[in-house]
Amino acid sequence: MAVTGRPDRIMVPRVCALVAALAVVVGGGTSCSSPSASGALASPFDASSPWRQVIPADAPVDPNSTAMIASVQPTPALNANLVAYGIPIYAAGRDTPTYAVACTRVDYGLCPFAGWPVAIPDGAEPNTGSDGVLVSVQESSGIIFEFWRAVRDGETWTTAFGAVNSLHGSGWGGAATGSGASRLAGVVRVAEIADGEIPHALALQSNNACPTFRAPALKSDGTSTRADCIPEGARLQLDPELDLGSLDLRPGELAVARAMQRYGGYLMDVANTPLSVSFEREADPAADEVGQTYSDAGFRWDYDAMENVPWDKLRVLK
């Protein structure tokens, strides 16, 4: 139920101290005051974060790359999770209501939200997919509250499990995703599509994820035992020699393809599709519509395959 007495105000010093410690654990800066709140939410995580690194020109390719890409490209596609599995991202201010949020999966260990006044804006809703994802960012403290299977019942919020991460950290930590990536990390933002520029690596999912993982992933929820499975934490890149200007790409496809050439994407979760990518859920569209910004960029529907990009030209880096 809702926490009374405005604990989001009286606990700011404690939250700032905890975010400093948290940032050390998950990587990155340790100050509550930098960068600016709006800039940090628009470009989350420390400059040293794996999500913000350009792929070097001489990055080696995994020797099993061809087989792994063939396994997730029976039909060339990178499905855009725009609606049911789009990520609802909310900015929480100092006056945002806070709640004591319990975890319903007690077999996963101590609830990450235990003891926290969890800031959740009025009107916040998880996505409608089976993951029930919701992300709330308390910008003043730099704390990210990440929900898996969030449920609101009147004035009470619960979640199956979740994570608490730092907006100024590495973008890895917790159990909100199968690999331990922050649920905010790698998400294509509405504003980025509007600008035509995505300045970070992307969050990818696959139904052929291995139970093994590689750095920067911390774990894996993959179950595929095929020889061509892809470890969680693997970084995929669109062939950087591909001339995107020669292709007839819609604006959204071009922005995603450029990011996949320059920054690539990390396999960070299991999905029901061969290969998909996380997008921020656009605010206030009709129930099953992608939203005006995405529509203007050429996205037609949920799980748009962005098929004008030759996704069979992907490669897995070593």
pLDDT single digits (tens) 218-255: 999 999 999 999 999 999 999 999 999 999 999 999 99
Judgement on whether residues 143 and 218 belong to the same structural domain of the protein? no
Judgement on whether residues 233 and 296 belong to the same structural domain of the protein? yes
Judgement on whether residues 139 and 199 belong to the same structural domain of the protein? no
| Domain count of the fold of the chain | 2
pLDDT tens digits for 149-169? 999 999 999 999 999 999 999
Whether 49 maps to a domain, the answer reads no
> How many other CB atoms are found less than 10 A from the CB of residue 14?
14
Higher pLDDT pick, 122 / 9: 122
Judgement on whether residues 76 and 209 belong to the same structural domain of the protein? yes
- Boundary of a domain, candidates 166, 197, 231: 166
Alpha-carbon separation of residue 228 from 73, 217, 222, 270, 292 (angstroms): 12, 19, 13, 15, 38
Alpha-carbon separation of residue 192 from 77, 188, 200, 248, 279 (angstroms): 21, 7, 10, 20, 10
Whether 145 maps to a domain, the answer reads yes
Whether 140 maps to a domain, the answer reads yes
Judgement on whether residues 132 and 76 belong to the same structural domain of the protein? no
**Which residue in 53, 281, 18 sits closest to 142, CA to CA?**
18
Judgement on whether residues 146 and 194 belong to the same structural domain of the protein? no
Whether 173 maps to a domain, the answer reads no
Judgement on whether residues 134 and 242 belong to the same structural domain of the protein? no
pLDDT tens digits for 253-302? 999 999 999 999 999 999 999 999 999 999 877 778 999 999 999 999 99
How far is the C-alpha of 160 from the C-alpha of 105, rounded, in Å? Answer: 5
> Chain-wide mean pLDDT for the chain?
89
pLDDT value at residue 35: 29
Amino acid present at 271? A
> Could you tell me the residue range of the domain that residue 19 belongs to?
7-43+87-166
